[in-house]
Structure 1
């Protein structure tokens, strides 16, 4: 079982580092489908893995020649995401404590993730026809980041496909720019989400050794994915992203059926 958790976290982090989606959007539904742990533990483990993966990815990007992170706008987005991350965790804990069965929370998470993924899939197919914007207001950047952080922390996915859609539509970023800035946002939202969980003493029960294997998978996956990202073109990233969205939608449909 430990090897399985490592393989899932490593594979998801490789793809997440290439596409800029954090990896949690893969880890969360896959572990839910496997039924190896309850919903709260899966969300926490997924968030910790994404945090380690995004930290390594952002640090790597600082040493590259391609300055793809837009520091002014990206930092405002990240600051908003940090607040949203704590808020999203609060929403999750409220839902988790008020639903009679944790499977109901899992069904809600899977349903929201399915909707978000479907919208992103449709947008990506048609984005060459969509007029994009170039928001520069720091206030609007922070509000956008807050919304992204809130959703990602509630779903336990880090950032996911919605980050790329919003960064493309609102800020006219290219695929690789959106990927780098998405991971920057994810780093802050997941960090505050973790701090909130620790501060409120709501860490779920799970074998600590599994967390170690998953973090190791996240770190190694970020390093491998970063190297791949440097060598492939935007159109190849787009193709990988589209295939991934289709797979994630299928897994979430299965999860909704399983939870209900």
Structure 2
């Protein structure tokens, strides 16, 4: 079981680094399916792995031709950091209010499947969709805030919604959107994990977390090598493949928790 989780984490980190979606969209549903951990522990394992993967990807990307657009990425990242805190608080409130981890897992998986389906449809028809370009800083921060809330609540670090937002609202191509998405994920995850540490709500750490972090970093480094050589179309194909896997895993988990 452990070996399977680590292999999937490594592969998901490669794909997540290439697409900018982050590895959490695969790692989180896999942990839901294979592990009997609490929702809080799974969120920590997934979120920390994504953070490690993101840091490695961004460091590696400094030598790439594609760069972060700081005029867009930084306001989004600031909003995402605030959203990461709010999303974590929302998650804690839902856990405390429901007193039922299974219900929370069902909600998370159904929301993730729905959002991923929307992104999959967008990627399939994006050639026909006319994009816009928002230049308003406050509006950009607010968009980042929404992204941060969603990613922190779902425990996926970033997620497919980042890509659709960057492509549609800021007219970015696939590679630029992928890199800026990782930049946003970085701030959101740091804020979310720091809040957990400050409030003392971090679950106990384990060797599994350390091993997943190593796989996340390794996958990110391999992914950055592939990214240099891939076309925008190839990046889209990786993203679409990830979306299909995420939808399948999320629906499987929702049904599993419903019948338990």
| TM-score interval, smaller chain | over 0.9
Residue 251 (structure 1) aligned with residue 241 (structure 2): no
Write the distance in 1 (CA, Å) between the matches of 2:99 and 2:111: 19
Q: Which residue of 2 aligns with 1:166?
A: 165
Structure 1 segments (4+ residues) deviating >4 Å:
none
Does the 8 Å contact 2:5/2:30 carry over to 1?
no
The alignment covers a number of residue pairs equal to 258
Cα distance, 1:14 vs structure 2: 0.6
> C-alpha separation between the residues in 2 aligned to 1:161 and 1:84?
16
Alignment of 1:170-249 (within 5 A): 170-205=169-204, 208-249=206-247
Q: Residue 68 of structure 1: CA displacement?
A: 2.4
Partners of 1:53 and 1:93 in 2: how far apart?
A: 25
Counting only pairs closer than 5 Å after superposition, residues 6-155 of structure 1 correspond to structure 2 as: 6-64=6-64, 66-155=65-154
Question: What is the CA distance between 1:257 and its match in structure 2?
Answer: 0.5
Structure 2, unaligned runs of 5 or more: none
Contact 1:85–1:146 (CA<8 Å) still a contact in 2?
yes
Q: Deviations over 1:51-101 (max 9, x none)?
A: 01111111122233x142101110110010010001100001111111132
Q: Distance in 2 between matches of 1:67 and 1:255?
A: 36
Q: Is the 8 A contact 1:26 1:248 kept in 2?
A: yes
Asked if 2 retains the 8 angstrom alpha-carbon contact of 1:2 and 1:213, the reply is: no
**TM-score, normalised on structure 1?**
0.96
Distance 1:170 1:230 in 2: 25
Give me the whole-angstrom Cα distance separating, in 1, the residues matched to 2:38 and 2:8. Answer: 17
Unaligned runs of 5+ in 1: none
Distance of 1:124 and 1:220 partners within structure 2 = 28
Partner Cα separation in structure 2 for residue 108 and residue 91 of structure 1: 13
1:8 CA displacement: 2.2
SS of 2:94's partner is helix
Distance (Å, rounded) in 1 between the aligned partners of 2:4 and 2:84:
28
